[in-house]
Chains A and B, each alone.
Chain A
Amino acid sequence: MITVIAIDALEYNLVEEFNMRNLKQEYYGKTDISEFSEPRTMVLWSSFMTGENKEEEILAKGDKEMWNTRIPHEETFFSHFENPFILDLPGYNYDLEQHERERRLLKEFFMEKDEEKKREIRKKYNENAFAHHRKIKERFLEALEGEYDFILGYFSVADVIGHLNFGNRMMMKMIYRDLDEIVSQVEGKKIVLSDHGMKAVGVFGDHSEYGFWSTNFKELGRPKITDFKSIILSETK
Chain B
Amino acid sequence: MEREHLKLVIVGHVDHGKSTLIGRLFFDTDSLPKEKIEEVKQICEALGKELEFAYVMDHLEEERSQGITIDTAQTFFKTEKRDYVIIDAPGHREFTKNMITGASQAEAAILIVDASEGVREQTRRHAYILGMLGLKQVIVAVNKMDLVDYSENVFNEVSKQTTDFLERIGIAPTYIIPISAKEGDNVAKASDRMKWYTGPTILQALDTFKKTEKRDENPLRFAVQDVYNIDGKRIIVGRVEAGTLRVGDNIIVLPTGEETTVETIEEFLKEDVKEAPSGKSTGITVADKLFIDRGHILYRKGEKAPHLLKEIKGNIFWMSKEPLVVGEKVVFKCSTQELPCTVKAIEKRIDSSTLEIIEENAEKLENREVGEVVLSFSTEVIVDDFNSTPDLGRFVIEKNYNISGGGIITHLER
Contact = CB atoms under 8 A, between A and B. Distances in A.
A126 B66 contact: no
Interface string B48-66: 1100000100110011001
Interface string A68-87: 00000000000000000000
Contact of A170 (B46, B48, B49, B62): B62
Contacts of B148: none
B48 A174 contact: no
B47 A134 contact: yes
B46 A126 contact: yes
Interface string B109-136: 0000000000000000000000000000
A132 B55 CA distance: 23
Contacts of B49: 174, 178
A173 B48 contact: no
Interface in B267-296: none
Interface residues on chain A, size class: 10 to 19
A175 B40 CA distance: 12
A107 B44 CA distance: 26
B43 A174 contact: yes
A169 B62 contact: yes
A178 B44 CA distance: 10
A231 interface: no
B322 interface: no
Interface in B9-36: none
A215 to B, nearest CB: 26
A170 B47 contact: no
Given A130-B46, A133-B47, A174-B43, 15 more contacts: A127-B46, A134-B47, A134-B48, A137-B48, A170-B40, A170-B43, A170-B58, A170-B59, A171-B39, A171-B43, A173-B58, A174-B40, A174-B44, A174-B47, A178-B47
The 6 closest A-B pairs by CB, nearest first: A130-B46, A170-B59, A169-B62, A174-B43, A178-B47, A134-B48
Contacts of B43: 170-171, 174
Contact of B62 (A126, A134, A173): A173
A9 to B, nearest CB: 17
Contacts of B48: 134, 137
Nearest to B60: A170
Interface residues of B, number: 14
A4 B117 CA distance: 37
Contacts of A127: 46
A130 B43 CA distance: 9
B46 A169 contact: no
B64 to A, nearest CB: 11
A133 B55 CA distance: 20
Interface in A49-104: none
Contacts of B58: 170, 173
A133 B46 CA distance: 9
Interface string A121-137: 00000110010011001
**Which one of B39, B58, B66 has the greatest number of beta carbons of chain A within 10 Å?**
B58
Contacts of B66: 169
B47 A130 contact: yes
Contacts of B59: 170
Nearest to B45: A130
A173 B66 CA distance: 13
A221 to B, nearest CB: 31
B57 to A, nearest CB: 11
B209 to A, nearest CB: 33
Contacts of B63: 169-170
A147 to B, nearest CB: 27
Interface in A161-182: 169-171, 173-175, 178
**Highest count of chain B CB atoms <10 Å: which of A127, A137, A169, A175:** A169
Contacts of B39: 170-171
A137, A169, A170, A173 interface centre (most CB from chain B within 10 Å): A170
15 contacts: A127-B46, A134-B47, A169-B63, A170-B39, A170-B40, A170-B43, A170-B55, A170-B58, A170-B62, A170-B63, A173-B58, A173-B62, A174-B43, A174-B47, A178-B49
A196 to B, nearest CB: 23
A134 B59 CA distance: 22
A85 B381 CA distance: 77
Q: Which residue, of A137, A173, A175, has the highest number of chain B Cβ atoms within 10 A?
A: A173
A137 B47 CA distance: 10
Contacts of A169: 62-63, 66
B353 to A, nearest CB: 25
A176 B55 CA distance: 13
Nearest to B46: A130
Contacts of A171: 39, 43
B381 to A, nearest CB: 46
Contacts of B46: 126-127, 130, 134
A175 B47 contact: yes
A130 B48 CA distance: 9
Nearest to A169: B62
Contacts of A173: 58, 62
B28 to A, nearest CB: 21
Nearest to B62: A169
Contacts of A170: 39-40, 43, 55, 58-59, 62-63
A158 to B, nearest CB: 12
A169 B44 CA distance: 14
A133 B40 CA distance: 17
A45 to B, nearest CB: 24
A125 to B, nearest CB: 12
A175 B55 CA distance: 12
Interface in A145-202: 169-171, 173-175, 178
A159 to B, nearest CB: 16
Nearest to B68: A169
A114 B63 CA distance: 27
